[in-house]
């Protein structure tokens, strides 16, 4: 993700409906193994956006991701 951002930025994230990542939000990005579920990870980051009334706000995003291995490569199986 960091390499793609350096190449030309990131576009809208369809999973979180976030309008993009910046250096500040990438610094908050963490991925940890979910010890309660097999092959699952918890992704967390914070980003700045605007409320419906255009006031600046900060939002926290937590994604739970399950991965599977197909043909030797890991792929996202589900997100919740």
Which pLDDT score is estimated for 2?
Answer: 60
> How much is the average pLDDT of 15-20?
59
46 closest CA partner among 31, 62, 70 = 62
> How much is the average pLDDT of 16-36?
82
- Res. 32: pLDDT tops 80: yes
Which pLDDT score is estimated for 36?
Answer: 96
- For the chain, give every domain's residue range: 2-79
> What is the greatest pairwise CA distance in the chain?
48
Which pLDDT score is estimated for 75?
Answer: 93
Which pLDDT score is estimated for 23?
Answer: 82
Q: Report yes or no: 27 and 18 within 8 Å, Cβ to Cβ.
A: no
- Residues 49-78: tens digit of each pLDDT: 889 999 999 999 899 999 999 999 999 999
Q: Which two tokens stand for residue 13?
A: 């994230």
Helical H runs in 1-80? 2-8, 23-27
């Amino acid at each position: 993700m960091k390499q793609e951002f350096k190449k030309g930025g990131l576009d809208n994230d369809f999973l979180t409906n976030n309008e993009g990542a910046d250096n500040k939000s990438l610094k908050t990005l963490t991925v940890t193994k979910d010890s309660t579920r097999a092959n699952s990870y918890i992704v967390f980051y914070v980003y700045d956006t605007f409320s419906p009334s255009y006031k600046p706000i900060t939002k926290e995003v937590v994604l739970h991701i399950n991965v599977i291995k197909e043909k030797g490569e890991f792929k996202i199986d589900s997100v919740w």
